[in-house]
Structure formats: C-alpha cells, structure tokens
Amino acid sequence: MRVYRLLQEMSLEDHRRLAAGMLERQPGLIFDLLLEHQQRHGAPTSAEVPGVPWCTCGKCRDMPTNRERKCCGQDPVHCVSIL
C-alpha cells in the first residue's frame, strides 16, 4: 500500500516522467501501454493492406506461413515498428 500512497502524491507530470523512464529501461512494457490504449479506445480494424487481411497496423507484408503472419495488432499510429 505504500506504493499506492507514493503514486497518489505524484503530479501528472511526475507520472509521465516515471512512465517514460520505465519504458526506456524496460522497452517490452510498451505492449502494456498499447494494450491499455486499445482497451480505452477500442481495437483497430483491418488496415486493408492488399493481400494481408490479418494486418491492422498497415505495415505488415505477407509471409509464407501462418506462423509468420503476425501483426502487432495496433493502429497505424502506434505500430511497434515505428515506436
């Protein structure tokens, strides 16, 4: 509970600075941030990339196997290939 008290005492700017520092030290946390964004704003729809119907970010290309056909699942502005 001490952690929650510390967080409550922080300003919004302090929260942003802390989050940015955490993302720099642990880049994998970006997926948590993007998931939170999707939950608030809804999942993106297909980007309608010709021949790549499973892509939502618009940056994917077709791959030879289903196992390789993976999209980050984000909208074009939040595609992990450009973060």
Question: Which residues lie across from 18 on neighbouring strands?
Answer: none
Amino acid at 58: G
* Whole-angstrom distance, CA of residue 69 vs CA of residue 65: 7
Per-residue pLDDT tens over the stretch 6-55 = 999 999 999 999 999 999 999 888 888 888 888 888 877 777 777 788 88
pLDDT, position 65 = 92
Contact (Cβ atoms closer than 8 angstroms) between residue 72 and residue 64: no
pLDDT, position 80 = 84
Q: Is 69 exposed, middle or buried, given 0-12, 13-18 or 19+ CB atoms closer than 10 A? A: middle
Kind and range of the H or E run holding 18: helix 12-25
pLDDT, position 74 = 87
Task: Label residue 72 by pLDDT band (50, 70, 90).
Answer: confident
**pTM assigned to the model:** 0.56
